[in-house]
Amino acid sequence: MMINRRNFFLAMPLLLAACVQTQQLNETVASSLRITEVAVATSVERENTALPKGVIVDQVRSDVSGVLKRQNPNGIRPVRLNVNIHQFYIANAAAGALLGSSSSNIGTTMTLVDVKTGESVGEPFKVYGSTEARPTMLGALAIKKPQEELAVISADLAANAMIAIFGE
């Protein structure tokens, strides 16, 4: 069975909604960590995006850093979080009306690196952020401006990154 682009974008929010973030690190290891740096890059190659890729990278860096640097401030092991954005889609109200629904989402691969030794802490892990599902053409009415959609998926990504590293 071949999946076309329209069906892919319709199915993606449902797939992401089905994924519940779980802690990816051993609790003992996580309790010793203190996030001191967050580095964000993207491997997305397409040039035509709803917002410039630099804006997306900056928003993700700000949100993820803001959430994670507050977690476990007494951790004894300083680490850098490397975030690679490998996929993102910012919903468009016009396309949402034509397709019947649309949800913004972002997919990343994250790695932790010990700042002092340069060694990896654990294995790379996937973390996603998304808006709520918006089924039917009426759902398209809930689609916000691109910057506001980005703020929602970036905040969701930051919350999921916190769960992936430190648990709930």
- Output the pLDDT for position 10: 47
Radius of gyration from C-alpha coordinates of the chain: 17
- Output the pLDDT for position 38: 98
Tell me, what DSSP letter sits at residue 73?
Answer: T
Q: Say which residue, 47 or 35, is predicted with more confidence.
A: 35
Residue 17: band (very low, low, confident or very high) from pLDDT cuts 50, 70, 90: very low
Judge: domain 5-166, CATH 3.30.420: no
What's the rounded Cα separation, in Å, for the pair 112 and 49?
A: 28
Average pLDDT over all residues of the chain: 86
pLDDT at residue 119 is higher than 80 = yes
pTM, rounded to two decimals: 0.84
Q: Say which residue, 158 or 100, is predicted with more confidence.
A: 158
Q: Please count the residues of the chain.
A: 168
pLDDT at residue 1 is higher than 50 = no
- Residues whose CB falls within 8 Å of the CB of residue 73, separated by 6 or more in sequence, listed in order: 34
The torsion angles phi and psi of 15, rounded to 5 degrees, stand at -65, -45
pLDDT at residue 70 is higher than 60 = yes
- Output the pLDDT for position 144: 84
